[in-house]
Structure 1
Amino acid sequence: MSIKSLCCFSLRGLASHRQCIRRILIFFMLFLLVYIIKWLSDTPIFKENHQQQQAQHSKSSIQVQQRQDQNGANPIQEEYNANQCVNHHQSIKINYFNRQTFQGKNFNGKVFIPVEFLSSQFGWVGESQNLNGEKVWSISKRKARVVDPIGRYNYKGPFTWFNFYKVEKRERVKYIDSVTGVPISTQWSQKGYFYPTQICQFALSHFTRLLLNGTKINQRILSDCKSMDIVSTWKVHQTTSIQCIDAIVDGPNKRVMKFAQSRDSSKAMSLNMQSSFKRFIARFEVQFKGSGSISFLVTTKRQQQFTIRYSTAKVGVSFSERSKTVIYGIGTRNVLSRITRDLEIDLCKALLLERRRKGSRKGALSKKAALISVDAVTLQGSGLLGKLSLVDSADKDFFIDAANWLVANQDRSGGWPVSVSHKINKLTLTLKPGWYSAMAQGQAMSTLTRAFHLTKEYKYLRTALLATKPFHIPASEGGVLATVFGTYKFYEEYPTKIPLLVLNGFIYSLFGLYDLKSAVEDVNAHNITSDAAELYRDGIRTLKNLLPLYDAGSDTFYDLRHVVIKAEPIIARSTYHALHISQLLHIDTIEEDPLFARIAKRWMEYMNGGRANHN
């Protein structure tokens, strides 16, 4: 009720005026009464009487409960007790060693700590589980995969557990370069660069899936002079022409389609596609005379259409929001060569780059870029086109592209230098551009020996043989070798002048040396010599003697900086701890020493809450 409504003076007369005054008096008296009651409730005498009444009520309630039959129940008393329990849940601020504070719960004198704190501080996670028909809250360390070996490790088989790796989907992979077919990394530079370790992991993941999934490929041939009527397959205009010819390429002649487009024509040649296709890896051979492009019209699950174009006139990748067109530069392509592209990955990476260009990094793009069909293919320019198909898998192509990159980009020192600087976490050590990594060198050997085994081409083995050179050069002089305690030879993933001794990178280098040693032994009739066997033996000796130093009692150390340079130790996060275990299990298949299995078992117990014994 407003003052205006109370003081509603009008010309209706004196009676109306008196009624308004009466309303004001009543309102004032009510306000005064409320104020007196509040003042009385705050007096000590009132509080004492109220507490006595509560105690008496509680005592009488207990007496009522005691009089209940043991098999009976008192719903009123149960509800009262439940309310009392709720009232005893009190928030309490917890001080953790004067380092941080957070909110907990105090329940009848028992203090409860939130699971979120245990997760952030100790790497523990909690979840509700059903144990023997009873709901329990289960606490464990963060989930991380430990992979048991599939038989004895060797260079002819899968590379450890790399079939689980989807390198091209990693956020730090900017896109897959359409000239070389290998990842462009942004791990230490947002501009993008060729990172040898990531390229090798890309290769080894596809090789391992190739072996485990088989070589059978489901494909839809769209254009092929060997098996199709090209004239009815393509739609041409008066300014364009197509015909099948025999082209001289490396090896036997190939039956290819020669296409031509007049310079003043803007009309592209297009495939007569009777239906859409649900295979999203495009594989084709193409050669352009001058500028040209091949484009794929695709539809996503959100019913959006995009054009993905591979053009000789562009470099890198670009995206046009207005025309919904993604353009990847494929280089000049003045010789007939194969191109294999994952259309879904190419679309996803282009959309992600556009989002970052606008300043947004939120949300995943996998749903937006998920394809449901390829609807059209167009061709512009003049040149030659080999077999064009859509396939559901191309692991061999991706693997060979990466192996070829290693052959083409090895320098005179036998290495693959990293072109960006890298600052070591929490230390003042920085690797300047041009540094080598023993991990990259080792995984390159693992890639190249498998490429040699798959293709029987000696260019891969020759490249692998040169890759051992940096293992003989000290890290202080630009190599990857560190000498520990004046005795043990250690191959550094990050070869700083002061050794760090990163464990996982060292073991990966041993896998590579073992692969090269084994491949050379298999072709020893050709009088090929290598120092890989000696380097491997030295590395295994070092691993056996230093491995106990990585044991942290309930975890493992990522490196030995705390031993070598007395720096603050770095505990390996759960994924790296699991990686250490998996690596030892695979080493155990090729070494007879039970040390590796014994330590792997102990470290596995750490993952399940185990700890080293006290004195």
Structure 2
Amino acid sequence: MRLVRWSAYLLLVLLLVYGYRSYSLFTHFGRDIALPPSSEQYYHLEPAFCLDACRSIDTSIVSQDEDGVYVVNFDRVKNLRVHDKRVYFPGTIGQLALTHYVRLKRYGNQEDKKAFLANVDWLAGNIRESGCWDNPIDISVTPGRVVKQPWCSGLAQGVAISALVRAYTLTQDDKYLGVALHAARVFQPGVPDSVTSRIRPDAVCYEEVMDAGHPTCVLNGYIFAIFGLYDLTRVSSDPQIKAFYDAGMQSLITLTPQFDSGYWSYYSLDSVRSLANHYAIASPSYQRIHAEMYTALARMDPAPVLEQYRQVHTDYAHRGWFNIVVIPLYLMYQDFSLAYKWFRQLKE
């Protein structure tokens, strides 16, 4: 009887804790998704959008080196892929550089300018001849498949190009534009370190993680790549850059309905779907980001499907019944992941 009573107390406590945390997260997702009028008309990353998108990076897992460049502590990442190492991760560096840029434009803080340029200078100094920034960890997007380091990322290329374009407009230093143009080379199919896959005969995808022979087409990585190319077309008349952007945007318009499950968005179009990758269903934070991204896309291109899915993903983000189930499960998954890591470290 005592065991039953204490089990009931424990269950009540768990319900209260996860109920409160879920409510807090749900109300955060429930904020209206809107972008302010542009003060820099050709930049998709308006202040509200960039800060929300960059918020997907947990700042508790990053630190800065002596030069102010961001380093990711992968042993603190809240999932089951344990990487006990600190690395310079180009996508994180690009996204947090953009955060400092937005703060600089909004508040005029010179410390943000210093941090922005420190991280952009790292990007300018660490690009390979192929145009790729190396991602120095092994990673698994598809259960049972591992992409060995170093690999090239469409997401990292896109956010880094966006940061470099802003550095160019801020400083008028041609080196930043030159690096951004060099980085766009990997969007050419078939070249070394290409991030372009043929997801179906009439559509390409810019892969967040390029797994040769097994396209996954992660949605947020795909869109970040398109954003970077869009920014670059506004400062460069190179017809190849425009061709990369057009191919990516038209393919995204074609593929957009495939990312809709009918009640939530898919994180990717991976053909392998199991419990290990949540059946490719997006997490609550990525659902929010998908809504923000389609809000920006609908302003960039008048295609009706973009406006349609802006509304669809926005509804999913803060009015969908699925929130009631997925948010508590997501929080439990995060807690289990951290506990697993702590247990593993104790055993070692």
Q: Which of the five TM-score ranges fits, normalised by the shorter chain?
A: 0.7 to 0.9
Q: Distance in 2 between matches of 1:211 and 1:402?
A: 17
Q: Which residue of 2 aligns with 1:451?
A: 167
Q: Distance in 1 between matches of 2:20 and 2:181?
A: 42
User: Where in structure 2 are there 5+ consecutive unaligned residues?
Assistant: 75-81, 323-348
Higher relative contact order (CA 8 A, sep 6+): 2
Q: Which residue of 2 aligns with 1:560?
A: 269
Q: Which residue of 2 aligns with 1:148?
A: 34
Q: Distance in 2 between matches of 1:397 and 1:554?
A: 43
- Normalised by the length of structure 2, the TM-score is 0.77
List structure 1 runs of 4+ shifted beyond 4 angstroms. 113-120, 164-169, 565-568
Deviation at 1:512, TM superposition (A): 0.1
Q: Distance in 2 between matches of 1:123 and 1:546?
A: 37
After superposition, the CA RMSD in angstroms is: 3.2
- 1:501-552 deviation per Cα after TM superposition (whole angstroms, max 9, x unaligned): 110110011000000011114xxxxxxx252211111111111111111112
Q: Distance in 1 between matches of 2:37 and 2:102?
A: 14
Q: Distance in 1 between matches of 2:46 and 2:113?
A: 13
Deviation at 1:166, TM superposition (A): 6.9
- Correspondence for 2:217 among 490, 493, 501: 501
- Correspondence for 1:404 among 92, 105, 121: 121
More helix by share: 2
User: Where in structure 1 are there 5+ consecutive unaligned residues?
Assistant: 1-90, 93-101, 105-112, 128-139, 218-392, 522-528
- 1:265-304 deviation per Cα after TM superposition (whole angstroms, max 9, x unaligned): xxxxxxxxxxxxxxxxxxxxxxxxxxxxxxxxxxxxxxxx
Identity of aligned residues (%): 26
Judged with a 3 Å threshold, the aligned counterparts in structure 2 of structure 1 residues 570 and 198 are, in CA distance, closer, same or farther, namely same
Q: Map 1:178-577 to 2 at 5 A.
A: 178=66, 180-187=67-74, 189-213=83-107, 215=108, 394-424=111-141, 427-474=143-190, 478-497=193-212, 498-521=214-237, 529-561=238-270, 564-565=271-272, 569-577=279-287
More strand by share: 1
- Correspondence for 2:299 among 589, 596, 600: 589
Structure with max Cα Rg: 1
Q: Which residue of 2 aligns with 1:170?
A: 59
Judged with a 3 Å threshold, the aligned counterparts in structure 2 of structure 1 residues 177 and 534 are, in CA distance, closer, same or farther, namely same
Judged with a 3 Å threshold, the aligned counterparts in structure 2 of structure 1 residues 447 and 117 are, in CA distance, closer, same or farther, namely same
- Correspondence for 1:600 among 301, 310, 321: 310
Secondary structure of the structure 2 residue equivalent to 1:460: helix
Kindly provide the amino acid, as one letter, of the partner of residue 534 in structure 1.
A
Judged with a 3 Å threshold, the aligned counterparts in structure 2 of structure 1 residues 586 and 123 are, in CA distance, closer, same or farther, namely farther
Judged with a 3 Å threshold, the aligned counterparts in structure 2 of structure 1 residues 548 and 490 are, in CA distance, closer, same or farther, namely same
Deviation at 1:603, TM superposition (A): 2.3
Secondary structure of the structure 1 residue equivalent to 2:205: strand
Deviation at 1:448, TM superposition (A): 0.6
- Normalised by the length of structure 1, the TM-score is 0.45
Q: Is the 8 A contact 1:124 1:142 kept in 2?
A: no
Q: Is the 8 A contact 2:72 2:88 kept in 1?
A: yes
Kindly provide the amino acid, as one letter, of the partner of residue 148 in structure 1.
A
Q: Distance in 1 between matches of 2:153 and 2:161?
A: 13
Secondary structure of the structure 1 residue equivalent to 2:197: strand
Name the count of aligned residue pairs: 301
Q: Is the 8 A contact 2:207 2:217 kept in 1?
A: yes
Q: Distance in 2 between matches of 1:543 and 1:123?
A: 37
Deviation at 1:575, TM superposition (A): 1.0
Q: Distance in 1 between matches of 2:86 and 2:273?
A: 35
Judged with a 3 Å threshold, the aligned counterparts in structure 2 of structure 1 residues 141 and 474 are, in CA distance, closer, same or farther, namely farther
Deviation at 1:474, TM superposition (A): 4.7
Kindly provide the amino acid, as one letter, of the partner of residue 480 in structure 1.
V
